């Protein structure tokens, strides 16, 4: 599990309330508490909650799967997340799990809760990408793309729908698959059902980079063949998945700067950028 990759969830003024809600349910702690950003750590994994306003909403195209180790555990999480939430798949026994359910909580975040054959992983929270609408049928292609871009990556397992499946899916489409990028595990699936949402900035994937060379490689690779640059280290890849490619130096000179006034200069410089240029941040800090 790589601590430099983690999900970022978009909120509209209620990020701190959500952070407290998740810590109450899953345990853990708050590691950063600012007017815009809440960083929490649950099950030893980092999540960012960003209070960015009303521009984007979370949706089930990206959900977080929690690997549970008992029926008591999965029931505890299900009951807590159900508070003012909505059920996407009822908590029940399925062919692939002793107990499984898919739920959207009161903050619009989607969770898949799984109890079954215990996978060999120390990563309890696994982001899952659902390839839908124009992306339906592209899950395998996307896994191959991501594992070609990031080091220490592999596709670990693919389960196709197969012939005569109950979902009436193309037999070659992915019912579930797992892959890792730089030692961080993801899941994915295809769905040919009509959905009224797509990947969006409501849920993005953050990658902290060590240097400009790594930043350039990831940025240039992820925007290839139809991706799009955004501002402040954000981009969309060709499938519409949002990424934040963030040099660790930005955190050191900005949010965690020893001199807050210099940190503000760095922040103002960053706001002018698309891809983050470390040397320009350093110039701003030292100006």
The whole-angstrom separation of Cα 112 and Cα 218 is 29
Q: How far is residue 103 CA from its own chain's centroid? A: 16
Place of tokens 């590691």: 31
The model carries a pTM of 0.95
Reference 198, options 241, 238, 163, 232; nearest CA is 241
pLDDT (0 to 100) of residue 258: 74
84's CB contacts (< 8 A; 6+ apart) are 105, 106
Reference 246, options 285, 283, 273; nearest CA is 273
134's CB contacts (< 8 A; 6+ apart) are none
Per-residue pLDDT tens over the stretch 90-113? 999 998 899 999 999 999 999 999
Per-residue pLDDT tens over the stretch 145-173? 999 999 999 999 899 998 888 778 889 99
Q: Which fold has domain 210-286?
A: 2,3-Dihydroxybiphenyl 1,2-Dioxygenase; domain 1 (3.10.180)
The whole-angstrom separation of Cα 169 and Cα 174 is 9
Per-residue pLDDT tens over the stretch 58-77? 999 999 999 999 999 999 99
pLDDT at 139 over 90: yes
Query: What mean pLDDT, rounded, does the chain reach?
Result: 94
Reference 4, options 150, 233, 143, 182; nearest CA is 182
Confidence band for 287, pLDDT divided at 50, 70 and 90: confident
95 versus 13: the higher-pLDDT residue is 13
Q: Which CATH number does the domain 5-190 belong to among 3.10.180.10, 1.10.3720.10, 3.40.1160.10, 3.40.50.1220?
A: 3.10.180.10
pLDDT at 5 over 90: yes
142 versus 251: the higher-pLDDT residue is 142
218's CB contacts (< 8 A; 6+ apart) are 149, 150, 207, 209, 243, 245
Would you list the domain boundaries of the chain? 5-190, 210-286
Confidence band for 243, pLDDT divided at 50, 70 and 90: very high
Q: How far is residue 97 CA from its own chain's centroid? A: 23
pLDDT (0 to 100) of residue 231: 94
Domains 5-190 and 210-286 equal at CATH topology level:
yes
pLDDT (0 to 100) of residue 161: 92
176's CB contacts (< 8 A; 6+ apart) are 96, 159, 187, 188, 189
Interhelix angle for 278-286 vs 212-222, to 10°?
Answer: 130
């Amino acid at each position: 599990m790589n601590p430099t990759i983690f999900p970022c969830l978009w909120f509209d003024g209620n990020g701190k309330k959500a952070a407290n809600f998740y810590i109450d349910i899953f345990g853990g702690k708050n590691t950063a508490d600012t007017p815009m950003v809440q960083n929490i750590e649950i099950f030893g994994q980092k999540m960012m909650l960003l209070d960015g306003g009303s521009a984007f909403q979370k949706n089930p195209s990206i959900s977080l799967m929690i690997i549970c180790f008992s029926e008591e555990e999965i029931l505890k999480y299900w009951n807590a997340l159900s508070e003012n939430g909505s059920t996407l798949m009822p908590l029940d026994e399925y062919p692939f799990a002793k107990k499984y359910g898919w739920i959207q909580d009161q903050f619009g975040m989607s969770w898949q809760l799984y109890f079954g054959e215990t996978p060999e992983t120390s990563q309890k929270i696994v982001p899952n990408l659902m390839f839908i609408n124009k992306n339906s049928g592209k899950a395998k292609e996307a896994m191959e793309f991501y594992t070609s871009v990031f080091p220490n990556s592999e596709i670990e397992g693919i389960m196709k729908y197969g012939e005569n499946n109950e979902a009436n899916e193309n037999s070659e489409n992915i019912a579930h698959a797992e892959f890792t990028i730089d030692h961080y595990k993801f899941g994915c699936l295809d769905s040919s059902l009509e959905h009224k949402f797509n990947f969006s900035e409501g849920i993005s994937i953050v990658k902290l980079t060590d240097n400009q060379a790594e930043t350039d490689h990831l940025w240039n690779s992820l925007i290839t063949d139809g991706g799009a640059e955004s501002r402040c280290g954000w981009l969309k890849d060709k499938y519409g998945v949002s990424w934040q490619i963030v040099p660790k130096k930005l955190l050191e000179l900005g949010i965690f700067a020893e001199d807050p006034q210099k940190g503000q200069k760095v922040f103002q410089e960053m706001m002018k950028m698309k891809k983050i240029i470390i040397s320009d941040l350093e110039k701003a800090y030292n100006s």
